[in-house]
Chain A
């Protein structure tokens, strides 16, 4: 296999490999895999907008102070379809955010795993065919 052809094959493989992990944009380009963060705090504002919802929280620091972080999530349309709106996550709700910080060092991260302090998921997944999630398959 020539180097060029190998490059093309590798490029195609990269594109294909990127597809399953690709949401609206490449998360690895925006967030830093080397900067995992774990935050806990109260919701201060919810931007229920496309292409991504953003949840603002007042994250507690070890010294007792707090810092506002912005947390990126998915499209609200999926949750709308299950009857969930921005009111489903009221201001003041205590949540735990496990994610990765923005590459530019700003106080933003992706909400890789959003839970309540007791470990329950913030929103339930769609596996198994959630109500309101129509499926052309069957």
Chain B
């Protein structure tokens, strides 16, 4: 499925006068194509057989740029190269799970050796200090007061029933959804890989993390009825020039993406800006959850790596382990052991 990027055949217009010097003409054409591919703006993406701009292949959004701008970079949407290198060095040291400092809780929280993580080592090429680009402060806008209350109630409920049964365990632990797997798609600790497949009238995005596939019809059909909630929402796509625009609604209210509710409307934009890059942006709107919409931008880089299966339930012994641990804790508490 993974294909090498193909430059769209381009007519050597304006170069016919050089045709008597075939070798030179060829060189000029080759350098012109190379320039077009690297300058981004003038590069024209190849087309699928049915005429869609071709986004197919495996892509990764691996980066250590944080979603929100850290306080230390307040008022600084772009880092200098030196700042970026310093931030990368510091973040790698901080993320390194092989370190054993910070006490037992931190040690246990790091879970296992660094080899098992795959967070990336660099920030985005634009040197932005956050993935959120709007609002200008690089922060996700606050939740509405009403939504803050609802979230507080939900957190209280989760906390007081945390280990009553599987229903109260976090969604990723139950292998239902992963908070960064999308939509919208954000980088995480590992499995930051996505396969895009296009067929006439459809785009499909297979997400390595937790193994879901988003199937996006392009035929203009309406969304499913209001009140139907889905874990991944209900996506519809269309092309605006070379940009795929995907609008997703009908999210389950249980997903609670960054505090969103069932009124979440997500608009994602995919533009293949070079053979090896998709410019990916998404806008989150939810008037009953966020005080204003917000937007993030994450480059996706082409990779020749395959997607690996993530059969999340197969080895999910952790779920029973957590609940068995809670029962053991209760017995110890009854005996007054601790």
Residues of A within 8 A of B (CB): 4, 7-8, 11, 15, 20-34, 36, 47, 49-54, 70, 72-81, 100, 102-106, 108, 110-114, 121-129, 132-138
Contacts and interface: CB of A to CB of B under 8 A. Distances in A.
B213 interface: no
Given A30-B322, A75-B310, A123 B116 contact: yes
B170 to A, nearest CB: 7
Contacts of A33: 104-105, 107-108
Tier of interface size on chain B: 35 or more
A4 B145 CA distance: 12
Interface in B104-133: 104-125
Contacts of A103: 321, 324-326, 328-329
A130 to B, nearest CB: 8
Contact of B116 (A78, A108, A129): A78
B26 interface: no
B152 to A, nearest CB: 5
Given A27-B108, A28-B108, A74 B190 contact: yes
B255 to A, nearest CB: 15
B300 A121 contact: no
Contacts of B125: 137-138
Interface of B: 60-65, 92, 95-98, 100, 104-125, 148, 151-152, 155, 162-163, 169-170, 172-173, 175, 187, 189-192, 208, 298-301, 303, 305, 308-312, 314-319, 321-322, 324-329
A77 B190 contact: yes
A132 B314 CA distance: 25
Contacts of A51: 175, 310, 312, 315-316, 318
Given A125-B96, A136-B301, A137-B64, A111 B113 contact: yes
A32 B325 contact: yes
A22 B95 CA distance: 12
Q: Is the interface of A mostly helix, strand, loop or mixed?
A: loop
A112 B111 contact: yes
Nearest to B316: A51
Contacts of B155: 11, 15
Which of B61, B187, B327, B328 has the most chain A CB atoms inside 10 A of its CB?
B328
Given A51-B310, A112-B113, A136-B63, 18 more contacts: A4-B152, A8-B151, A22-B189, A24-B172, A24-B318, A27-B111, A28-B105, A30-B321, A49-B314, A50-B310, A81-B305, A126-B114, A128-B121, A134-B303, A137-B63, A137-B65, A137-B123, A137-B125
A105 B328 contact: yes
A124 B100 CA distance: 16
A123 B117 CA distance: 11
Given A28-B108, A135-B301, A52 B315 contact: yes
Nearest to B211: A50
B112 A111 contact: yes
Contacts of B65: 137
A127 B322 contact: no
A104 to B, nearest CB: 4
Contacts of B327: 104
Nearest to A29: B322
B120 A137 contact: yes
A106 B327 CA distance: 12
B152 A75 contact: no
Contacts of B117: 74, 78, 125-126
Given A122-B113, A135-B120, A50 B309 contact: yes
A112 B98 CA distance: 8
Contacts of A53: 315
B312 A50 contact: yes
Which of A80, A123, A137 has the most chain B CB atoms inside 10 A of its CB?
A137
A135 B116 contact: no
A17 B3 CA distance: 40
A29 B116 contact: no
20 contacts: A22-B189, A23-B112, A26-B170, A28-B105, A29-B325, A49-B311, A52-B317, A72-B317, A103-B321, A103-B325, A104-B324, A112-B112, A113-B113, A123-B116, A125-B98, A134-B305, A135-B121, A137-B123, A137-B125, A138-B122
